Structure 1
Amino acid sequence: MGVKMRKDAVENRAKILATAAKLFQQRSVSAVSMKDIASTAQIGTGTLYRNYPNKSELCLALSLDFIRQFITTSQQYLAQTTAKPVIQFQQVLAQYLAFRERRIQLLTAVETGPTVMATYYQSPLYQQLVELFKRILFPISGEISATELTFRADMVLAMLKSDSYAYQRQQQGLSQAQIAALISHLMIRSDQSISGN
């Protein structure tokens, strides 16, 4: 009996996430209510809230797969590339910006959630993201302590949170490429050339 309950719960979660993803494609994340999701998924609102207590939690669940895909793709690139460290940093950063741009509504809903970010920062997935950025920052940072390297990785990710990113794109009028170039100038040690020498 317990296995069937578990299977039902897994099926409900999958149905909720698939329904939410579909609705978020049709309308903006902010325009879709939890009630809309429950109704479209043909489940009770109690079932929805038992699985996802708020929309931020639901958006985080949807975001985790996209974040995993980004990390996996980046790790595959780093394992195969022979590009110089500066180019590797710029490539992964550009891909991260493209990922954030495609998922900006979803990530905004996650990042404005009251408790979600604390949970996310403690997650193994966030730690994998930090480790990825440490890996690409280390060779372009010169003499650097482990603490400073972790701080730099955290700060790159913090700079690119949805509100900061949206401000730079919309208010400051910067393109994705301009943001990538400016972050590169901040992070790459001055004796390393941007051309990768």
Structure 2
Amino acid sequence: MNATAHTHERADAARNRRRILAAAARLLAERGAAALSMDEVAQAAGVGVGTVYRRFTDRAGLLYALIDQRERDFQAAFLHGPPPLGPGAGPAERLRAFLHALAERTDQQADLLLMAEADSPAARFEASYDLYHRHLAMLIGRLRPEADAAYLADALLAPFAANLFVHQRRARGMTLQRIRAGLDELTAGLTRSG
């Protein structure tokens, strides 16, 4: 096998991936996240259930693939996009913009994130979380060099656990604006000048 075969997805595998994701998105839109099963996705995609499991390992893997494009867009925005979310603004403005954008992003895919975290409890602390944590720790370090930036980054990310976020939005009836205002209160000590 040549190196190209290892680095590029086979055409039939890419086609199956697209079919599986399209079927999963359709089922999700029609019946909600709770109704999404690997067997039903395979049947809707016209592939064997083994193909779905080989491609995505488990339901959490499938859910994260559905989440992936929005996640890529969000990461591009805070890493390379325009200020204040992206580079070019001060650390206080970037911190606020990041937390507000993360609240919106979490709200938009709350059901998927909730299911992914329920299916794989460690999933919350994988690649995206690490990137968010490093980004927040960097901003906190610029604002307050003496602070424990690693701890504070975890503390600021805690409200984005899907189960808590969904509970606040649905059971407690908190608006997205109220959650953003609360995040502003949490960061007030960090962002206060002087």
TM class, shorter-length: 0.7 to 0.9
**Distance in 2 (alpha carbons) for counterparts of 1:172 and 1:32:** 26
What does residue 107 of structure 1 align with?
Answer: 113
Q: Hey, what does 2:94 align to over in structure 1?
A: 88
In structure 2, distance between residues paired with 1:190 and 1:61? 35
**TM-score normalised to structure 1 length:** 0.80
Is residue 23–residue 44 contact of structure 2 (8 Å, CA) maintained in 1?
A: yes
Match of 1:128 in 2: 131
Q: TM-score, normalised by structure 2?
A: 0.81
* Structure ranking higher on relative contact order (CA contacts 8 Å, 6+ apart): 1
C-alpha change, 1:141 and 1:27, in structure 2 (3 Å) is farther
CA offsets 1:88-126 (integer angstroms, 9 cap, x no match): 222221111111111111111111113xx4356343x43
Residues 13 and 51, structure 1, Cα contact 8 Å, conserved in 2? yes
Answer yes or no: is the 8 Å Cα contact 1:134–1:149 preserved in 2: yes
In structure 1, distance between residues paired with 2:56 and 2:190: 46
SS in structure 2 at match of 1:112: helix
Counterpart residue identity of residue 49, structure 1: Y
How big is the alpha-carbon RMSD for the aligned residues of Structure 1 and Structure 2? 2.7
How far apart in 1 are the matches of 2:11 and 2:179? Answer: 45
Q: Is the 8 A contact 1:141 1:188 kept in 2?
A: no
Residue 38 (structure 1) aligned to one of 29, 36, 42: 42
* Residues 151-170 of structure 1 aligned to structure 2 (within 5 Å): 151-170=151-170
Q: Which runs of 5+ in 1 are unaligned?
A: none
- Structure 1 residue 16: deviation in Å? 1.2
- CA, structure 1 residues 140+168, in 2 after alignment: closer, same or farther (shift >3 Å)? farther
Once residues 71 and 11 of structure 2 are traced to their aligned partners in structure 1, the CA distance between those partners, rounded to angstroms, is 25
Identity over aligned pairs, percent? 25
Aligned residue pairs: how many?
187
Partner residue in 2 for 1:118: 122
Report the CA distance between 1:29 and its aligned residue: 1.0
